Chains A and B, each alone.
Chain A
Amino acid sequence: AQKITQTQPGMFVQEKEAVTLDCTYDTSDQSYGLFWYKQPSSGEMIFLIYQGSYDEQNATEGRYSLNFQKARKSANLVISASQLGDSAMYFCAMRARRSGGSNYKLTFGKGTLLTVNP
């Protein structure tokens, strides 16, 4: 079974500083994909960044980067130069093959609530 663990229910960061949101995952599959989504109070899930299990380099998208440590099964999100608009819930998610299945289910962690202070 696939599992995503986000151990930080809430995080605080000062504006313009960097913050790391933790994510660990568990799967027996060799092929999987890791995603981070942002959910503002408005409710919509916004895709931020993707990392494939075979990608050798850490993914980056603007101020977002993913610190992928495959041996530790961790995929931490790093947000540089935090902005007030970054305050939101952040979800780590994984696509891995279903047991006995032919497609990939997207499974989410419980999320981390990030608050950026001015």
Chain B
Amino acid sequence: DAMVIQNPRYQVTQFGKPVTLSCSQTLNHNVMYWYQQKSSQAPKLLFHYYDKDFNNEADTPDNFQSRRPNTSFCFLDIRSPGLGDAAMYLCATSRDRGLNTEAFFGQGTRLTVV
């Protein structure tokens, strides 16, 4: 059974129209991450939550925001999607942020901007 679930699997949005991607987990993990993965590139960490504590990466554009209303759910909001934001967005969870802590990933949401 899937433990990290991302919805939708595929999302098409218009240029400049706000879009929200969702992620839920059944693992009761403290940490939830959002990664952006463009074609032929390494997944890039956008931000993560440790419990309710939001941790933004220094190079994440302001256009990307996130919400975590409870332990199970985390949302990625793109306020004004541009063509360059088309990518696979991966949600992941981990028990903690320790050295040997494995991250569990969802199947990703592929975002297309038209």
Hey, which bits of chain A sit against chain B, CB under 8 A? 4, 9, 31-33, 35, 37, 42-47, 50, 52, 91, 95, 103-111
- CB-CB < 8 A to A32: which residues of B? 99
CA of A111 to CA of B42, assembled, Å = 7
Give per-residue flags for B96-107: 1 if the beta carbon is below 8 A from chain A beta carbons, else 0: 011111111111
**Given A45-B92, A46-B105, A106-B103, 12 extra CB contacts under 8 A:** A4-B42, A42-B107, A43-B108, A47-B103, A47-B104, A103-B97, A103-B98, A104-B99, A104-B101, A106-B33, A108-B35, A110-B42
* B42 adjacent to A91 (CB under 8 Å): yes
A104 proximity list for chain B (CB < 8 A): 97-99, 101
| Contact residue among A9, A44, A95 (Cβ-Cβ distance under 8 Å from B100) | A95
Q: How far is the CB of A10 from chain B (nearest CB, A)?
A: 10
Chain A residues whose C-beta falls within 8 Å of the C-beta of B33 in the assembled complex: 106
